[in-house]
Chains A and B, each alone.
Chain A
């Protein structure tokens, strides 16, 4: 066992890369849930985004176009969910689970020709002297564009939800859709837009996995990242800032267990691979034991179907 091989700053850098996919998908799901919709199809939308992003990047030769393709595919998947739950009033839980299963199967089918293909690489963003800061620069200023965009998204979504009128309306819809309807807000339209935003973000997260984090296409490569993103939203009490923190914790555990495996810690690797998911369950149990719905900040209308009666 050689723990000294683990460098803190390099660990931090890989932690950020590992947490970006779940951060992106989690931010999308946060907005969706703030609008009162529980979309459990994040995993399915992520993997669809992963293969769509991979395929567009391979064909176009541009990773940026690949990310756009991933986002578009995620949004398209979420539109299925939106139509089923918002117009046909299908159960949100069941529809979300179906979306996950469908996404996993569909991506495996589409991805058959891409196994072993090599995507175009995305260069690191040149931040000049910042990247040369010892330690800190290694950890924070040697990343690709998407990492910085995901940080910007945290701030933008926080600002949108807490400071803008549109964000207030979205929260109102998620809190009490009947009251929002009575005040004349378009509940269904707002929710569909939120769902599609969530789909696009999940697609981006998936594309980040297949284009940068791995970068390869393999069947089922999200391996539960979508579920971790859903759990993260609860962990974060539906607040963007805490979501970033949570994503880093989970990303950190993932990276750390890989490093520990490499360092040869005397724990069977199966236990180490399990650890991020065990921690997820643990956190959720602790969170729900800590207080009622109000303390956790869950939107009042979360998961409830809305049908205008007048």
Chain B
């Protein structure tokens, strides 16, 4: 709204003492407001200079602009070549393009929406240095994030929003991350209940798994090995785009390899497809809900059939038993509190969180021996996220092996027994999750595997809990 994309229903904004109500982003830009978007507003097939020019009100001729881009990017330590195609840049470099575009307009107010979700810890450091330099030069920065440690280290004041309402304002440096989290969620956080259990028999064995990514811009997996026993939860962290999707595909059977690379309950399964792996007891839920986990235009019962057919016996002799399908879909909706008028509704019509509950419920209710999920609570509200995590823990308590791939470290520390990080397609060694600090995890994600544990890196109780 501050950027003029949406108009307010009521109330007013004041910018530098004057009433401010932009009707268009161009008006906001003229008044010195610049925005870095969460999902980049960049054009892959255009070069850096052209992308920058599109975000400016009165861009100079291209040659001159290229010079300005070089100058600004070197001043703030953000190296960029104006002639390169944006499609070839890394996520961090793309964000630099966005930031440089804003800086060239000499903004008075810079809005950043979740800027670090696609960056490595090192890139985050560079970004923060730039932001501190900017704020020292007199630019106001509005930084939107759900990562509490970032807010604590960077911001002077914090305003906490919950469901579109301001619930608190505070100085984040005086609050602990836990207090901030409780303000955000609005309730005392109770970690999900988990029963003590002894690990069962070996369920999933991955050894020396290397696969090329099916996506030209994807990350290939390099020599991944781990073992997982029944009742164990393995949490896999990593910055987006470090091989998470590929790992899920390789485990679910969408990418096949040599038989011995993946063993399900001791049986070589690397060369089997998803249905054969389901028959062996391995189910999975990918990150992309619409189009990958669920067919958008098919009804919920049809979607339930697609994955549940084999394990739930929903068809016989090539004919679908619709009564059974309906019962299965209704069971998922009831057990996971999916808010929908009924099983006939198209998957597309559900909100992201509701569809996520349905997709995960569909897999969990199949009573698998192994379940692999990627970003299970992405875009889901706090209460639903808790339900999903609890369901995963219950499943592991029943003796299933659970692999949770996620970018949400708090989530991983909450559910995982053991912990590993993906970095450029390689997996770090597994470590027990209990007692692991966010600092240590950050290093694992950045690729510094196996660093000696110095006292400085010893877990701080405050952070370890979150």
- Known: A168-B53, A183-B55. Is A176-B5 also a contact (CB below 8 A)? no
Check B4–A182 contact: CB distance below 8 A. Answer: no
Say if the beta carbon of A171 comes within 8 Å of chain B. yes
| Inter-chain CB contacts under 8 Å: number | 54
Q: Least Cβ distance of B21 to chain A in Å?
A: 15
- The binding surface of chain B is classed by DSSP as loop
- The binding surface of chain A is classed by DSSP as helix
Say if the beta carbon of A299 comes within 8 Å of chain B. yes
> CA–CA, A292 to B217, complex, Å?
13
Residues of A within 8 A of B59 (CB): 165
- Known: A168-B50, A168-B54, A172-B54. Is A183-B41 also a contact (CB below 8 A)? yes
> Which residues in window 22-40 of B have CB below 8 A to A?
24-26, 29, 37, 40
Residues of A within 8 A of B53 (CB): 165, 168
Check B5–A182 contact: CB distance below 8 A. Answer: yes
> CA–CA, A299 to B87, complex, Å?
13
Say if the beta carbon of A134 comes within 8 Å of chain B. no
Say if the beta carbon of A127 comes within 8 Å of chain B. no
What is the size category of the interface that chain B forms with chain A?
Answer: 20 to 34
Say if the beta carbon of A184 comes within 8 Å of chain B. yes
Nearest residue, chain A, Cβ from B1: A310
Say if the beta carbon of A83 comes within 8 Å of chain B. no
- Known: A168-B50, A183-B25. Is A299-B45 also a contact (CB below 8 A)? yes
- Known: A165-B59, A294-B87, A310-B5. Is A183-B45 also a contact (CB below 8 A)? no
> CA–CA, A185 to B45, complex, Å?
18
Say if the beta carbon of A29 comes within 8 Å of chain B. no
Check B26–A184 contact: CB distance below 8 A. Answer: yes
Q: Least Cβ distance of A238 to chain B in Å?
A: 10
Check B6–A179 contact: CB distance below 8 A. Answer: no
Residues of B within 8 A of A175 (CB): 43-46
Q: Least Cβ distance of A169 to chain B in Å?
A: 7
Check A176–B25 contact: CB distance below 8 A. Answer: no
- Known: A168-B54, A183-B25. Is A310-B43 also a contact (CB below 8 A)? no
Check A184–B45 contact: CB distance below 8 A. Answer: no
Q: Least Cβ distance of B87 to chain A in Å?
A: 7
- Known: A168-B50, A184-B4, A310-B6. Is A179-B25 also a contact (CB below 8 A)? no
* Contact partner, B43, options A176, A184, A294, A297, Cβ 8 Å: A176
Q: Least Cβ distance of A175 to chain B in Å?
A: 4
> CA–CA, A165 to B37, complex, Å?
23
Residues of A within 8 A of B40 (CB): 179
Residues of B within 8 A of A171 (CB): 43, 45-46
Say if the beta carbon of A241 comes within 8 Å of chain B. no
Q: Least Cβ distance of B147 to chain A in Å?
A: 23
Nearest residue, chain A, Cβ from B28: A184
From B6, B26, B45, B53, name the one whose CB has the most chain A CB atoms within 10 angstroms: B45
Q: Least Cβ distance of A161 to chain B in Å?
A: 12
Check B41–A300 contact: CB distance below 8 A. Answer: no
> CA–CA, A299 to B37, complex, Å?
22
Residues of B within 8 A of A178 (CB): 41
Q: A-contacting residues of B (Cβ < 8 Å)?
A: 4-6, 24-26, 29, 37, 40-46, 50, 53-55, 59, 87, 216
Q: List 7 A-B contacts (CB under 8 A).
A: A165-B59, A168-B46, A172-B46, A182-B5, A184-B5, A299-B45, A300-B43
Give me the 4 closest cross-chain CB pairs, A-B, nearest first.
Answer: A184-B25, A179-B41, A182-B41, A175-B43
